[in-house]
Structure formats: C-alpha cells, structure tokens
Amino acid sequence: MLVVAALGGNALLKRGEPLTAENQRRNVREAAVALARIVRAGHRLVVTHGNGPQVGLLALQGAAYKPEEAYPLDVLGAETGGMIGYIIEQELENALDHDRAVATLLTQIVVDPDDLAFRDPAKFIGPVYSRDEAEARAKAVGWTIAQDGDKWRRVVPSPAPQEIPDMRVIRMLLEQDVIVICGGGGGIPVLRRADGSLIGIEAVIDKDAASALLARELEADALLLLTDVDGVYRDFGTDRQARIDSLTPGEAFKLNLPAGSMGPKMLAAARFAAYGGLAGIGRLDEATDILEGRAGTRVIPDATDEGGSGRG
C-alpha cells in the first residue's frame, strides 16, 4: 500500500513543552519509530507534517529584530519545512538503519487569490498571549488576532489548497522507492500568475487539507492523520462520549466537530475517502494498528455513499 502519513504538531512538540531543538528532536525520534513500522510492514510511505508553532516563532523573531524587514509567511514556511524535514529525514533514516532512501522536498501549493480566507484570517500560529499583550503586538506589527480558548493568538489566512505543482518530482522519487517527506506545514502557498509563473503569498495552508489533496493526487491507498489522541469521539467531554471506530464519508461530512480541533481532520479524511481510499485518525504510535483496523477512527469508502465518486 501507498500510505500518506500526516504528522500532527505533537510529533514535534508535546502539549506545554518549550519549543527547543532538543524537545523537537526527541519527539521526532519517537515519531520515526512509528513511521519505520509502517515501512517495515511492507508499505510505501510519504510523510507530511505541521509547522504552526515553528512558523509562529520565526515570525516573532523577525518582528523583534526589524519588523519592516521581516520575511513573509511563504518564506517562513519554506524555512520551517527545511528544518523540520531535516530532523524527520535524519531520524527516520536512523530508525530504518539507513537501508532505505529518504528525501525532503520543499513543496509549493497553489491557492486561489480570491479565496475568502484572505478576507477572514482564521488560522492560529505562534504562542498564546493575554488579550492586552496580543492587542499590543497586533498594533505594533499589524497582526490580526483572535481568541483561542481563554488566550489570544495571531491568526493568518488559510486558503484551500488547489494544486501541487511539484507532483511530478514526488512521483519520480516514489518510483525510485524513496520515502518522501513533503508538504511541510501544508506546503508553501503560492499563486499562479497569468503567464504561468508562480509567486509566494502571505498565508498558511492547513496541513490536513493539503495532505488529503496530496494523497488523492498520488492515488494513495491510505491517508493517516496522526495526532496525540486515539480517535474522534461523539459527545466529547460528556459522560456519553464514545470513540467512533468507523464511518463512511457521507456520515463523516455530517458530523459537527470543533473547527479548531478534529473538524479539519475529519473533513480531510472524508474528502480523501470519498475518492476511494482509507482514511484514519488516531495516535501516532498506533499508526500500523489504524491501517489494520485495530485502532483509531477509520473513514471507509462506501460504493453507495453519495459523498464519493470512487477512485480514478
């Protein structure tokens, strides 16, 4: 099977941990062991990952130095994709005893300049602040901010991914039996100009949406959205909560899940499964169990489901 495994933020940083290089490498080392099990089970593998905390930190560092010279988000996305990809690549090579080739590809993803997300920024990046501190920072450097729980954070546009220009390179690597790390942070957001050329734009693409598009374009057999919880729950937080073992894309589309939590993951899973692949959401260390139906929440294609059209 060809498996696209999307690593959530916990693969790099546990909740509440400081964003240090040592913490990130230790967490990636643990993630690499789980990813290596997928490969050892005989599957081909493509890895994607998030970058929210990292891109937010780089933006802060740039603003603290010379705000008028700060790099745009597309460039910061490329920087974090290279940094995180390097750590994953190295630790995965180590976990596989260097008997498989692994490569990191900085991945451009085309977005629509008329996407409504540019008018209504909603993607959280960077650390949390008190309201007063967030408002002070927003005024100083021109941020848009929004409430995140009982704290406040910077929000940026998160347009939907439309096209992956680097698909040809990804396919070439897979044909050579290379494990590919790509689409880091949801990919680098770019616009396609009238003459066909590409140019970066200030945005951050949702990693799960980009991973679903990637998996669909590759005609992957499975998409795993790996996080630090064991699946998706009905009535979460109540005494009636229960993990959903499996559902069809149509059933998944009807769920009402939090936009800042499982909502984007379930939507991405449903969209991929609607094209004929298996989508799973669950714990990183249970990745192979999710593939084999022993763990997580699985969105399984149904030929009679109106939400799907079948692969191809």
What is the set of active-site residues?
9-10, 123, 207, 265
pLDDT tens sequence across 83-142 = 999 999 999 999 999 999 999 999 999 999 999 999 999 888 877 789 999 999 888 878
Residue with token string 């897979």: 174
Q: What angle do CA 143, 206, 28 make, to 5 degrees?
A: 100
b (16+ CB within 10 A) / e for 194-212: eeeeeebbebbbbbbbbbb
Query: What secondary structure letter does DSSP report for 118?
Result: G
Domains in the chain (CATH in brackets) are 11-121+157-206 (3.40.1160.10)
Q: Which two tokens stand for residue 11?
A: 């693969």
pLDDT digits (tens, 9 = 90+) for 135-155: 998 888 788 999 988 889 889
pLDDT attached to residue 65 = 66
Tens of pLDDT, residues 184-234:
999 999 999 999 999 999 999 999 999 999 999 999 999 999 998 899 998
Kindly report the pTM of this predicted structure.
0.89
**Quick one: which of 232, 229, 310, 305 has its CA closest to 269?**
232
Note the helical H segments in the chain. 21-40, 52-65, 73-95, 131-141, 167-175, 207-217, 249-254, 263-273, 287-291
CA atoms within 13 A of residue 67's CA, in its CB half-sphere: 8
